Structure 1
């Protein structure tokens, strides 16, 4: 009953061996089929047993004892002369674990336990857990459909600090990852277009794309997603402005000890600071007029994102750029050149209202998984973990009652 066996399978023997002085032993359960049993071939015909081969699978622990199933797995000779190994009901082909064992391993990963820890909990090597994990995730990814994808967010991230960048593609409407690839730039966009075709979608059906200001991404979208309007992601544009603001701080701090240790006092918005930090910020802006002017311009630029009328947004952005050009704040003048070089994509934000919060939320999940694993050396493992935590896909591994 516990193994959910049905005819013709039956348990023939059970042995619990326990070395002297050790609490942990091993339970071996031997399964066989009744004599004269027939099994179904690929075409639904019943066939007699041709021969058998001995197989072994690790099962869930019996109390503290390791548990293994053993069976003579029958092979049948089909009418076309081919010999086929019969599928046993308690394990998938090619696996050394039972389905319930694999389901429990997947449940532990779902509960955010690092794979190395899952391995030590189940008393197996982590690479064997990864093999199980990759099988079920890739099976789910293969069955996924992308027929409704119209608005896409594209960003890159590294598998570990400074190494092996990958591109993450997100369906902004369903807020889920739809494809992960090793390439960056235009090659990544081309691969996304191929995957859309393969999974029932269409590159020409994509209407809006949110990307950073990378020229290779821009080129890739124009070539592979020809009908998509480009919106430059708000987060990346704001990050460029923060870089300019920090450069102003560095220039002002030369020979002035007072600005040391106040990087984030200046970079954060005042409302996100504590009362003490707000008072320090007010003092610094009073002491450094150029820094104060840059901070005021930064706050004014942030107001752009709240404008909903396209013509008003155009007028405001022109006005802001002219204000910067009238100053001697050179880091901000370089930022204005960046804005003008990517003008239409920034203005498109007003039309598309693509929310970078979706990408940020998914990226936060990815970074958390990366920290738990202390980085990923294996790109395949990293890609599949992203699908698992942010793909919202249906996986076929057996349900394990938690």
Structure 2
């Protein structure tokens, strides 16, 4: 019947079958329920040695029939059955021939694994496991294999500008360091921890994959002492920029410390506590209603109001077009922070002065960690949806999958 012949052609195409492989038959087992498809190999066909490609003689079959999970058919789980042939090669000896639809040592067909990777890119592994009717560990193994293969094969010879950032792995103080190709906006390395060794390990991988540390022209990161020293040592020709978002974060943290201290000293603590989020909004983004409320709070709590105006000057600093325009603004900001009679701001001023050259580099290359912040948001979203990762390896694979722009070798089913 034509329907049966069309079903056979469909199966052969989905399994990438050609001579000497063919579909022997298929059965529906209502008690499971599941579909079972049986694959055969033409007995007289000549098969090349899988190791050297030379002429061989047939040497029977593997002892037991092997079973692989395939993509669902009509919403029923589908399984592929086959006893693969062996060959006797004059040079290589007895060799087991792999089927065209399998990855070595995997119990899933290539089409299934391609579909699984597509699903995992857009949903948590736990949900993907339910959708595909298999366990999370299995999917994590599939994810790790294809991501590691793509990462290992990717060359890094054209990397000139990088961004370095850390992101939390698990609750507590577990972090991973993410290195991003700033030009392509893609993750190119993930290392456990957030110390100097993470930068050193990346520099080694860069060299191994055809890159040159001396050709890295620009690096952006936070002002972590570990990152600063490692970047200076490993990328000697790079212009290192302290990311403006981390500079703003540092000053905002000082503002919040001033607010908390003044709140404790005030008899009306609740008013400042309820309005604390207003002090985190840039002045230019305030609505008229928010502006009036903020002015009232600033009069009632003058120290916090003074700290907020200092933050506003930092925004003016980063709004400058050139380093020449920005330099006097920085000098004025530093002077004000030192004379503010706010210990928190005075300490932060010392930190900014220490890193002034790296902060000012922003006006030469306009390089920021905005790329990192966007990617970090994707990473944390995936982590929350999956309710955390148990291993660094699984977490790193997920980061590469959602933000690495990898060329995965696995077949796409569509």
Tell me if the contact between 1:252 and 1:291 (Cα under 8 Å) persists in the aligned partners.
yes
1:106 aligns with 2:117: yes
Equivalents in 2 of 1:124, 1:275: separation in Å?
55
Instruction: Tell me which residue corresponds to 1:47.
Output: 56
Q: What CA distance in whole angstroms lies between the structure 2 residues aligned with 1:360 and 1:160? A: 18
Contact 2:11 2:23 in 1 (8 A): no
- Alpha-carbon shift at residue 251 of structure 1 (Å): 1.6
Check whether the contact 1:160–1:370 (CA below 8 A) recurs between aligned residues. no
Measured against aligned partners, the alpha-carbon deviations of 1:104-160 in whole angstroms (never above 9, x if no partner) come to 1112123x1111111111111111011111111111111111111111110111112
Change in 2 beyond 3 A, CA 1:322/1:273: closer
The alignment partner of 1:260 has SS state of: helix
3-state SS in 1 of match to 2:361: helix
1:30 to 38, 41, 45: 38
- CA deviations over 1:71-110 (Å, ceiling 9, x no partner): 1111212222432221211111111011111111112123
Q: What SS is found at the alignment partner of 1:317?
A: helix
Match of residue 215, structure 1, among 219, 225, 228: 225
Q: What does residue 340 of structure 2 align with?
A: 327
For residues 66 and 294 of structure 1, the distance between their equivalents in structure 2, rounded to whole angstroms, comes to: 63
Structure 2 residue 77 is the aligned partner of structure 1 residue 66: yes
Structure 1 residue 47: Cα displacement: 1.4
Question: Whole-Å Cα distance in 2 between the matches of residues 361 and 64 of structure 1?
Answer: 37
Deviations 1:357-378 (A, max 9, x none): 2121111111111111122121
Which segment drifts farther, 358-367 or 201-210? 358-367
Please state if 1:18 is matched with 2:30: yes
Following superposition, the deviation at residue 273 of structure 1 comes to: 4.4
Counterparts of 1:332 and 1:46 in 2: how far apart (Å)? Answer: 78
Superposition RMSD in Å = 1.6
SS of residue matched to 1:38: coil
**Aligned pairs (5 A) from 1:267-278:** 267-278=280-291
Question: Does residue 1:139 correspond to 2:152, yes or no?
Answer: no
- DSSP 3-state at the match of 2:118: helix
Asked whether the 8 Å contact 1:37–1:48 carries over to 2, the reply is: no
Q: Does the 8 Å CA contact 1:248/1:294 hold for their aligned counterparts?
A: yes
The residue matched to 1:174 in structure 2 has which SS? Answer: coil
Cα pair distance change 1:81/1:147, threshold 3 Å = closer
* Between 265-274 and 142-151, the greater mean CA deviation after superposition: 265-274
Q: Aligned pair in 2 of structure 1 residues 270, 316: CA closer, same or farther (>3 Å)?
A: closer
Q: What CA distance in whole angstroms lies between the structure 1 residues aligned with 2:98 and 2:406?
A: 26
Aligned residues: 396
Provide the rounded CA distance (Å) in 1 between the counterparts of 2:319 and 2:180. Answer: 24
Distance 1:32 1:242 in 2: 69
Contact 2:67 2:107 in 1 (8 A): yes
The answer on 1:86 being equivalent to 2:127 is no
Q: How does 1:327-366 map to 2 (within 5 A)?
A: 327-366=340-379
Once the two structures are TM-superposed, the CA of residue 306 in structure 1 deviates from its matched residue by: 1.8
**Contact 2:163–2:179 (Cα < 8 Å) also in 1:** yes
Tell me how far apart the structure 2 counterparts of residues 16 and 222 of structure 1 sit (CA, whole Å).
65
Is 1:6 matched up with 2:18? yes
Contact 1:301–1:320, Cα closer than 8 Å, also in 2: yes
List runs of 5+ in structure 1 lacking aligned partners: none
C-alpha contact (below 8 Å) 2:175/2:192 kept by paired residues: yes
Q: CA deviation at 1:292?
A: 2.0
- Matching residue of 2:6: none
Cα distance between partner residues in 1 of 2:321 and 2:90: 70
2:258 counterpart residue number: 248
Are the counterparts in 2 of residues 36 and 48 from structure 1 also a CA contact under 8 Å?
no
Alignment of 1:182-197 (within 5 A): 182-197=192-207
Where has structure 1 moved over 6 Å in runs of 4 or more?
A: none
Structure 2 residue 308 is matched with structure 1 residue 295:
yes
- How far apart, in 1, do the equivalents of 2:157 and 2:29 lie? 55
What runs of 5+ residues in structure 2 fail to find an aligned partner? Answer: 1-8
Larger displacement relative to structure 2 (154-163 or 376-385): 154-163
